[in-house]
Structures are given as structure tokens and as C-alpha cells.
Amino acid sequence: MSQAAILGGPPVRYRRFADRKTMGEAEERAAVEVIRSDVLSDFLGAGGDYFLGGAKVRGFEDKWCEMYGFKHGISVNSWTSGLVIAMGAVGVQPGDEVICPPYTMSASATAAIFYGGIPVFADIERETLCLDPADFERKITPRTRAVVVVHLLGRSANMDAIMEIARRHDVKVIEDAAQAPGVRYKGRPVGAIGDVGGFSLNFHKHIHCGEGGMLVTQSDELARRCQLIRNHGENAVSPEEVASTPNFFGGNYRLTELQSAIGIAQLDRLEGYLEARQRLAAHMARRLDDMPGLQTYMTDEGDDHAYYIFPIWYDAERVGMSRSLFVRSVLAELPEPRGFESTPLAEGYIKPLYLLEMFQQRRAMGRGSFPWAFAPESAPDYSKGLCPVAESMYERELILSPLVREPLSVEDIDDIADAMEKVLGQASEIVAKLGDDQDVTEVVTPIDVANSRGTT
């Protein structure tokens, strides 16, 4: 085999990987139809006929529910909005604690703060990268109102154990399935296994309409509360609801007719995307089977994986090379990424959220210690070392590929695997020539790779 590219040899591949193309004729037709109708949104922030939006908004919600068996869908203008609404709907109040894994997009944790809720972090499981039921239970206190369960990277969390613990302690369950649309846990679609949950429709997710989200729930009461908060509920509530609903006034979190029409067309593509990613991921996993030091975990029968991002667990000792040098060496073998979706490999995913300055300084709004001041006796721990599994994934173990996705082919995946195999075969030579003193504070995440395109 030729010399490693990072040592000056020829790379495995020069030709760029195909970009995703997300919008097609169906989306164009749908958008044009809405524009010609001149009704780009059909909401009014008042009770009555327009409170729940127009034909495309309702059509999009109904279609998603029909495809996956949810009772209620409530579309929203982002999944961050959806998480905030979910917090309100389950009744989070100032000083309540909301448990969340730290290894997720920040909104999973910060949504609680909009209602004065205090994020409390519980560790993840090594294999699923999702909430560890045992640590979740350890973090429950009399102040715990809700838990946010994130189906990270598209793999479902251990829902049976989590639901059993949550029900026993009367904790509401919000599922953040932003990265897991269409995913099943033991045959049941994620999103509404808990009390309320949902999906993101931002540009980087499996399907999208620019920005957007979809809340789902099996509960009539929670659906109504979500609808109130989505659209200025103060103008639509009955006297009984004001008396019985903790959080009813709302914002404007509405999705437009234009976005909903595009979303309807996008839904037709979702199952095809999932199949393509599962096929490519299975191929990648087979290739990695022969590579010591690189491990994958497959899901159990009845569980799907949406492969928002493909994860690889890295053992630096077995490879004889730091994760950072390995990733840089593999990147040198492959064409330069043009953005997040074309990033072949990156490290770490996301810095555990409690290490963000906001949690370190306990200050989210205003000049005081909001929302922590609501419950001084609560004092959750945000110190380094709090969630050792999440920290280890971030600092040492996890390698990610957002590139294992449509429209790539099995041959493309082989090139990525060949690049890894080539670097593994020359690990000692690369280390000898370049040295290897990785500083763990310099984790290069997929977002860093995307931001540095053109310079890597």
C-alpha cells in the first residue's frame, strides 16, 4: 500500500463525495401551489377557526401522525420551540428540576430555563450514547418535574427502563427525537412513548423545511396545552383552563403553510433515507469489524437506527495512536469536506453541556442567578467529572461520520473504510514521523470541521 497521505503519499481518494440534494420537483410544486394561493400562513392568534392553522399545517400534522401512528401532531417553527412548548405543557414551574443528558444539542437542556426550570445532568450509557437509566434515577429529587430523553444520533434510548423509573417517581417524560424521525424502539415509534416529544425539521436533519419541528403526543390534554402555547393561548383559553392549566399563555411558534407544504413532500422521502443510511451503515460496520481499535454497536432486533451521524468507538491504546492524529490522518486521505454533511470523520460530538459557561457561572438571564435563584437549595452539580461516560466520549472515545448517508454508495463507504484501514496499517510510522501529543482540550468536532472547510 502507498504511503499515508499525511506523510506525503497519495490519498485514497481525490474525487469529492456527492452533496446531499434535499429539494426536488415535489417540493417545488408544493411551494409554488402555496405561493399562488397567496395564503402563506393561515393562523390567527385568537380562538376560533384559525387557531390551529391552515390546510397545509393540518395536513402535515395529520400525515406524520398517520405514517407513524401518533394521535396528535403539533407543528412548530423549530424543534427548539417544540422543546420549550413541551416544558410548558408538562407543567415545568420556576425552581423545578429537569433531568437531561449533557451529551446533546444545547436546546435539550436549555428549554427548561424558559419556564424557570433548572437543568440537572445525568450521564449517558456507553453503548447507546443515550440517558443512563440508573444515573437518571440517582439524580431524581422531590423537585424533579421532567426528564428529557434524547435519542442521540438516531438510536433510541432505553425507554422501558426510563419509563418505569419515571412513572414510579411521577416524572414527566419529554422525548427529544430530533435526530431519530421514523425510528422504532421495540417496534414502537419514538417520540410519543413518553408523555410528549418530537422532531426537528432544520436544514441538517433527515427531512427539513428550512426550519421547523413537529411535536407528537398520545395525550389529548397535552396536545391542547401545546396548541395553546404555540399560538398565544391567552386569547383562546376557557376560564376552566386558566384555573387548571399551569402554563397556558403562549408565543408565536407557528409553522407556515409554505413550510408545511414542503414538509408534506419531504415525509415521502423519509423511509427511503432511513433505508439508505441503514444499508450504508451496515456496510461500514462490516468493514470496521476487521479493524482492531475501531468498534461499532449494532441495534437489537425491533430497534432501528436513523444514523443522523454514524458513531465509531475508538481505542487509542489498541491503535497505538491518539484519536486526534488518527482523524487528521484519515481526513488527509479523503477529499476536503464542503460542510457538515460531507465531513468524513470528526471527534467528540459536543462538549458535555454542564461545562458551558452558562452552567459554570449559573447565569442564564438577567444579572442575577436566573433560574438557579428560584431554588437555592437545589444546587445541582456542574463540575468537571460529573458525567464520566459523556466526558470520555467527548475527550477520547467517540469518532463520528456525518458522511454515512444518502446519496453515497457502498463504493464511497469503501473509500472511507479504506482510508481508515490504510492509516491503521501505518499507525506506528505516522506516530514515529509526526509525534503524537494530543491535547484533549482541542477536540475537533463535526461542527469545527464544517467551519474550517477549505483550511483542513
Query: Who contacts 156 (Cβ-Cβ below 8 Å, separation ≥6)?
Result: 128, 130, 180, 183, 184, 185, 190, 299, 303, 304
Per DSSP, helices labelled H in 117-248 are: 133-139, 159-168, 220-230, 239-244
179 binds ligand PLP (CB under 6 A): yes
Backbone φ, ψ for residue 349 (5° rounding): 70, -90
Stated as kind and residue range, the H or E segment containing 272 is helix 257-289
Residues 250-279 that bind ligand PLP (CB under 6 A): none
Residue 173, all three cell numbers: 417524560
Return the residue of 104, 256, 260, 266 that touches ligand PLP, per CB under 6 A: 104
CB 26 within 8 A of CB 265: yes
Nearer to ligand PLP, 155 or 422 (CB): 155
Backbone φ, ψ for residue 314 (5° rounding): -110, 135
Nearer to ligand PLP, 6 or 180 (CB): 180
In whole angstroms, the minimum distance from the beta carbon of 7 to ligand PLP comes to 37
Q: Using only C-alpha atoms, what is the Rg of the chain?
A: 23
Find how far residue 214's CA is from the centre of its chain. Answer: 14
Residues 107-146 that bind ligand PLP (CB under 6 A): 107-108
* Residue whose cell numbers read 481499535: 293
CB 419 within 8 A of CB 13: yes
Backbone φ, ψ for residue 411 (5° rounding): -65, -40
Nearer to ligand PLP, 202 or 218 (CB): 202
Return the residue of 34, 129, 150, 424 that touches ligand PLP, per CB under 6 A: 150
In whole angstroms, the minimum distance from the beta carbon of 327 to ligand PLP comes to 22
Binding pattern to ligand PLP, positions 199-228, x when CB under 6 A? -x-x----------x---------------
DSSP codes, 1-42: -PPPGGGT---S--SPPPPP----HHHHHHHHHHHHHT-S--
- The piece of 26-34, 60-68, 73-81, 126-134 that touches ligand PLP (CB under 6 A) is 73-81
Return the residue of 86, 105, 192, 444 that touches ligand PLP, per CB under 6 A: 105
Nearer to ligand PLP, 181 or 250 (CB): 181
Q: Kindly determine how many residues on this chain lie close enough to bind ligand PLP according to the rule CB under 6 A.
A: 14
79 binds ligand PLP (CB under 6 A): yes
In whole angstroms, the minimum distance from the beta carbon of 232 to ligand PLP comes to 20
Find how far residue 88's CA is from the centre of its chain. Answer: 20
176 binds ligand PLP (CB under 6 A): yes
Nearer to ligand PLP, 150 or 255 (CB): 150
178 binds ligand PLP (CB under 6 A): yes
Local structure of 68: helix, strand or coil? helix
- The piece of 103-111, 163-171, 318-326, 350-358 that touches ligand PLP (CB under 6 A) is 103-111
80 binds ligand PLP (CB under 6 A): yes
Interface residue list for ligand PLP (CB under 6 A): 78-80, 104-105, 107-108, 150, 176, 178-179, 200, 202, 213
